[in-house]
């Protein structure tokens, strides 16, 4: 299709424009549209700049509040640590003093009981020695009576022997007198032998009794000692508690305001200018097209 070819749609469109009065005012409309777009761009640039400033201010305020909170929290953490440390230290000292006092009291009680027990042991040993002494005295008394009996018996035997001898000398003579004297001596010797044997047996029996008394006393002492408590030992000192070491606290890192993206006002305005120029250019081109004379083909009306 060439430029002189008839186009009924284009002709109809131009006729409608001419009838409506818009045909000659397209350039004016394009200028108005460009001015409105440029004003909107300037207003948008101003609003964007204001929003960016508000965003930066909000970010700086947020960072400031965060830093203040972190610093305060850091100080509170240090203060809480020291308070907890002091409290635990005082509690540990109280527990140490209480345990030490309890151990010492227990030792003192045991020492007191041990003292009483030793006193009882001493009394028991004294009683054992006294019992031993009395037993020895009884045995010695028995032996003394035995010796006295032996002495009196020997005296009686000697006196009887003398009487028999005297009577035999006065009544008998010769061989019969000698025989009677011999029989008297033999009888005296037999009785002395019996008395000696009895005395020797009594001495041996007394020695055995003395030994038995000593054994019973030793056994009584051993029994009394075995029933006594052991000497209490001084308790080992408890380990004194140590305070918790203070750690190294690190200051909190300071927060820095982050980057707040924002559009450039110049770019926004330049974009609006470019859009306005484009709109005006389009309107001018359209105006020229509308004013262009279209030749009527041959044979047309």
10-residue mean pLDDT profile of the chain (301 residues): values are: 48 49 49 57 61 80 90 94 95 95 94 94 94 92 87 80 67 58 73 83 88 92 90 90 88 76 54 57 57 47 42
d(Cα 10, Cα 13) in Å, to the nearest integer? 5
Quote the pLDDT of residue 267.
52
The pLDDT of residue 58 is 83
Q: What residues does each domain of the chain span? A: 8-236+264-291
Helix then strand count (H, E) for the chain reads: 4, 0
User: Cα(220)–Cα(209) distance, rounded to whole angstroms?
Assistant: 16
What is the pLDDT, as a whole number, of residue 44? 58
**Nearest 5°: CA angle at 250, between 247 and 254?**
165
Query: What is the torsional sign of CA 11, 12, 16, 17?
Result: negative
Cβ contacts of 120 within 8 Å, gap of 6 or more: 228
CA atoms within 13 A on the CB side of 85: 12
- Report the pLDDT value the prediction gives residue 147, as an integer from 0 to 100: 86
* Two tokens, residue 229: 């408590």
- Rounded-to-integer distance, Cα 225 and Cα 228, Å: 5
pLDDT at residue 251, rounded to an integer: 87
Provide the pLDDT for residue 107.
94
Exposed/middle/buried for 34, CB within 10 Å: 0-12, 13-18, 19+? buried
The pLDDT of residue 114? 93
End-to-end CA distance of the chain: 20
Nearby residues of 280 by Cβ (< 8 Å), 6 or more positions away: 30, 31, 34
pLDDT at residue 299, rounded to an integer: 45
Give CA 179 to chain center in angstroms.
112
Whole-number pLDDT of residue 216 = 92
């Amino acid at each position: 299709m060439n430029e002189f070819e008839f186009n009924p749609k284009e002709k109809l469109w131009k006729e409608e424009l001419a009838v409506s009065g818009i045909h000659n005012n397209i350039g004016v409309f394009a200028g108005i549209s460009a001015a409105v777009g440029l004003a909107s761009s300037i207003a948008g640039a101003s609003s964007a700049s204001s929003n960016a400033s508000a965003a930066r201010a909000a970010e700086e305020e947020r960072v400031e509040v965060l830093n203040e909170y972190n610093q305060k929290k850091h100080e509170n953490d240090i203060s809480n640590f020291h308070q907890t440390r002091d409290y635990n230290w005082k509690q540990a000292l109280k527990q140490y003093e209480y345990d030490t006092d309890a151990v010492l009291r227990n030792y003192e009680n045991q020492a007191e009981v041990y003292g009483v027990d030793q006193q009882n042991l001493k009394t028991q040993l004294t009683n054992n020695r006294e019992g031993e002494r009395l037993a020895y005295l009884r045995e010695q008394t028995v032996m003394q009576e035995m010796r006295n009996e032996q002495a009196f018996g020997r005296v009686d035997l000697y006196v009887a022997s003398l009487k028999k001898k005297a009577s035999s000398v006065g009544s008998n003579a010769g061989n019969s007198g000698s025989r009677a004297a011999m029989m008297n001596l033999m009888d005296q010797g037999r009785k002395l032998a019996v008395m000696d044997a009895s005395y020797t047996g009594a001495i041996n029996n007394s020695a055995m009794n003395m030994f038995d008394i000593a054994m019973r006393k030793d056994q009584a002492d051993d029994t009394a000692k075995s029933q006594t408590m052991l000497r209490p030992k001084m308790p080992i000192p408890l380990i004194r508690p140590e305070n918790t070491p203070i750690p190294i606290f690190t200051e909190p890192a300071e927060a820095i305001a982050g980057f707040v993206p924002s559009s450039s006002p110049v770019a926004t305005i330049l974009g609006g200018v470019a859009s306005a120029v484009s709109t005006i250019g389009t309107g001018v081109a359209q105006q020229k097209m509308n004013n262009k004379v279209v030749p009527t083909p041959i044979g047309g009306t």
